[in-house]
Structure 1
Amino acid sequence: MKLKDQIALITGGSRGIGRATALMFAQEGADIAFCHLNDDAKAEETAAEIRALGRRAMHASVDVSDIAAGKAFADRVAAEFGPIDILFNNAGMNIRKPFEAYTEDEFDRIMAVHVKGMFFMAQAVYPAMVARGRGCIINVASQRGLKGAVNAAPYSAAKAAIIGFTRSLSWEAAPKGVRVNAVAPGPVVTDLTATMTDQDRQAFIDALPAGRFGRPEEIAATALLLAGPEGGFFVGATLSPNGGDVMH
């Protein structure tokens, strides 16, 4: 098992990429703590699947943009499960509309969840990782942070900021034994892409060299590579499984 007896904290873990990653990490031997936002029924389903794999699971509703709440959850995980080995910073949301139509509140919310929440959740687990001389932080960005998108200006800006944050923190963290990397998925079958119109979805698929959207499990496999023993030489990297939407 690649993650035997490690403790993983996953934000946005009840559905989609977060859920797939939680299950894959559990299959590889990790105990899983995850947060979600008012999604208790789906969260308990995910937790039950983790426990069925023989691993411990716990979850809580946490708004990651609330710094105190995020830190309290991280502290609870460390107290009940043990020191956190892996942080999968995945929580996200989006509001699609033309650039000129965004309100200040909408902009602030997108930035708070993606950038502020990710930054301070990493800060909540980082000192203990440094003290132990090891740890892994994986931040979920997006191919839209690499190329942009129509009707997604704040989201694309936030995801680009995550990539910059990942690179910057890596310079500080790697010499202390903590690896920080990012995953920038392309279009994946999740609740976020489910809000697209059929016409927009088909146009997107037609433009992809892969000819399809990705599966959450394919993104989880990328996270497992970064978290596991084969990922030891990835530092400050942004891996982008995106079906050819961005080639770099």
Structure 2
Amino acid sequence: MAGLQIKGELVPEDVGTDDCLTSYVHIYSPDLLKDQVAFITGGGSGIGLRIAEIFMRHGCDTVIASRNLDKLKEVAKKLSAVTGRRCLPLCIDVRQPESIATAVDETLKELGQIDILINNAAGNFLCPASALSFNAFKTVMEIDTMGTFNTSKVVYEKWFKDHGGNIVNISATLGYKGQALQVHAGSAKAANDAMTKHLAVEWGPSGVRVNAVAPGPISGTEGFRRLGGPTGEAVGAFQSIPLQRAGNKTEMAHCTLFLASRASSYVTGTILVADGGAWLTSANDVSMLLGIASSKSAKL
């Protein structure tokens, strides 16, 4: 099956696990990213994995980078087998610029160029601010915000500055309403949205476009499970979303593909909200959210 028909709209196929799609129908030319190279942080699972797959199905070679090299190697084999494109698994910690620099050097040595950077590495969980440990807040900021800056700066200095390029940051809508239990992730993503605009302005003259995708609830991801998505879906909470459903990873990959390709060649400094309209209408139920939170200090 190539997709699911929902009220007249064909929703692209996805799978809930970290596996490749069983079938795929191109909505853009299969050569849209032909012979380009994408460097994807957090590319071994969830949205990052699906972005890698969709990019590769459009002619791109990829680097998938995170801390778990064994998992990355498994995923890379699956991606290459399905798409016929090259996938290079590299171990990095986005909090450490030196490890990013080593990975970027290896990418340039093996693949010769970097055309696209996807900043997808992130961490999140539910916790009230009063119970959030100082270290937990710091860690989320280091991964989400510092990690995005670190990777962008290293790739810019080593390649984009002289060759141009394309950056897409994976953001979130958490900070738009001031959602309970999300001060850490909401603050980090709000900083990334601002960073997207600042870097678009500064690096535009070098031929670098910088944009972001802000997903809503996306099924089949660790974030969806950690943030109570399955429970919300079971009790009908998504009926308040204008499109009345959660999104899926393939849809987020398509949004990212648009921003990373020549289809959006005159777009920079933009945050593309892809949440089915959720942040406009979904209740910010403070009592309910605080009721499900543990009063114990969060630890990472």
Answer yes or no: same fold by TM over 0.5: yes
Matches within 5 A, 1:1-248: 1-38=31-68, 40-41=70-71, 43-52=72-81, 53-127=83-157, 128-132=159-163, 134-189=164-219, 190-197=221-228, 198-201=230-233, 202=235, 204-247=237-280
Q: Contact conserved, 2:38 with 2:114, CA < 8 A, in 1?
A: yes
Measure the CA separation in 1 of the matches of 2:161 and 2:91. 27
Q: Contact conserved, 2:125 with 2:227, CA < 8 A, in 1?
A: no
Q: Contact conserved, 1:173 with 1:179, CA < 8 A, in 2?
A: yes
Over residues 52-97 of structure 1, what are the superposed CA-to-partner deviations in whole Å (9 max), with x where a residue is unaligned?
Answer: 2121111123221122112211121111111110000000111311
The AA in structure 1 aligned to 2:196 is: T
User: Relative to structure 2, which stretch is displaced further, 65-74 or 104-113?
Assistant: 65-74
Over residues 141-172 of structure 1, what are the superposed CA-to-partner deviations in whole Å (9 max), with x where a residue is unaligned?
Answer: 10113333221111001000000000001101
Q: Contact conserved, 1:10 with 1:88, CA < 8 A, in 2?
A: yes
Measure the CA separation in 2 of the matches of 1:204 and 1:84. 41
Sequence identity, in percent? Answer: 34
| SS of aligned partner of 2:142 | helix
The AA in structure 2 aligned to 1:72 is: T
Over residues 191-234 of structure 1, what are the superposed CA-to-partner deviations in whole Å (9 max), with x where a residue is unaligned?
Answer: 11112445444464232122111101100000100111111111
CA shift in 2, pair 1:247/1:225, >3 Å: farther
User: Relative to structure 2, which stretch is displaced further, 23-32 or 76-85?
Assistant: 76-85
User: Relative to structure 2, which stretch is displaced further, 192-201 or 84-93?
Assistant: 192-201
The AA in structure 1 aligned to 2:54 is: M
Measure the CA separation in 1 of the matches of 2:84 and 2:178. 41
The AA in structure 1 aligned to 2:162 is: A
Q: How many residues align?
A: 246
| SS of aligned partner of 2:278 | coil
The AA in structure 1 aligned to 2:274 is: P
Q: Contact conserved, 2:126 with 2:227, CA < 8 A, in 1?
A: no
Measure the CA separation in 1 of the matches of 2:236 and 2:150. 37
How many angstroms does 1:39 deviate by? 5.9
Structure with higher Rg: it is 2
| SS of aligned partner of 2:167 | strand
| SS of aligned partner of 1:159 | helix
Q: Contact conserved, 2:140 with 2:185, CA < 8 A, in 1?
A: yes
User: RMSD between aligned alpha carbons?
Assistant: 1.7
CA shift in 2, pair 1:204/1:65, >3 Å: farther
Measure the CA separation in 2 of the matches of 1:20 and 1:99. 32
CA shift in 2, pair 1:233/1:246, >3 Å: farther
| SS of aligned partner of 1:233 | coil
Stretches of structure 2 that go unaligned for 5 or more consecutive residues are 1-30, 282-300
User: Relative to structure 2, which stretch is displaced further, 50-59 or 4-13?
Assistant: 50-59
How many angstroms does 1:247 deviate by? 4.5
The AA in structure 2 aligned to 1:117 is: G
| SS of aligned partner of 2:189 | helix
Q: Contact conserved, 1:137 with 1:178, CA < 8 A, in 2?
A: yes
Over residues 102-130 of structure 1, what are the superposed CA-to-partner deviations in whole Å (9 max), with x where a residue is unaligned?
Answer: 11100110000000010010001112112
Q: Contact conserved, 1:64 with 1:121, CA < 8 A, in 2?
A: yes
| SS of aligned partner of 1:183 | strand
| SS of aligned partner of 1:234 | coil
| SS of aligned partner of 1:171 | helix
